[in-house]
């Protein structure tokens, strides 16, 4: 859990701005930052994807002091791996938010029994 604490409030702010470029508010849905992507979402994702830490830190450091829109466009154009990381992280963290899932009507995955004798065989 120690590496989760390595994201300081200023880094979380930058990450939230980057996330909002990918998922802005609209149609009664919160923006990525409003959904807590750079806070609880970040902590949740990193609990099962600690391999994202270094890449996200690198992106945040490179984006600091720059327009989030311009930075994300540049990432998409010049750094496919960096853009891919951001594009995987942001929606993953966004859809962990219970309010977002409720608005979508998605209650999560449910266990279903496997039919041992499929009809088509």
What is the rounded CA–CA span in Å between residue 78 and residue 97? 30
Cα distance between residue 38 and residue 9, in whole Å: 9
User: Could you identify the residue written with the tokens 């994702």?
Assistant: 45
pLDDT by position in tens, the chain (length 121): 444 458 999 999 999 999 999 999 998 999 999 999 999 999 999 999 999 999 999 999 999 999 999 999 999 999 999 999 999 999 999 999 999 998 888 877 778 788 777 666 5
pTM: 0.84
- 117, part of any domain: no
Range of the domain at 7: 2-104
* 38 HSE (CA, 13 A, CB side): 25
Instruction: Report how far residue 68's alpha carbon sits from residue 74's, in angstroms, rounded to the nearest whole number.
Output: 10
Domain-located, residue 111: no
pLDDT for 1 = 43
Residue 5: the pLDDT is 53
Domain for residue 86, yes or no?
yes
The three-class DSSP label of residue 29 is strand
- The pLDDT, as a whole number, for residue 110 is 79
Q: State the pLDDT at residue 25.
A: 95
Count of domains forming the chain:
1
Q: Which pLDDT score is estimated for 105?
A: 85
Q: 3-state DSSP call for residue 79?
A: coil
Alpha-carbon gap, residue 102 to 115, rounded angstroms: 29
């Amino acid at each position: 859990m120690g590496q989760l604490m390595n994201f300081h409030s200023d880094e979380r702010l930058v990450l939230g701005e980057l996330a909002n470029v990918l998922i802005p508010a609209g149609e009664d849905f919160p923006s990525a930052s409003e959904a807590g992507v750079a806070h609880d979402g970040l902590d949740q994702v990193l609990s099962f994807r600690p391999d994202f830490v270094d890449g996200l830190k690198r992106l945040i450091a490179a984006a600091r002091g720059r327009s989030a829109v311009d930075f994300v466009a540049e990432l998409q154009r010049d750094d496919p791996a960096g853009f891919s990381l951001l594009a995987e992280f942001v929606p993953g963290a966004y859809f962990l938010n219970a309010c977002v899932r409720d608005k979508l009507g998605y209650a999560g995955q449910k266990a279903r029994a496997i039919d041992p004798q499929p009809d088509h065989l």
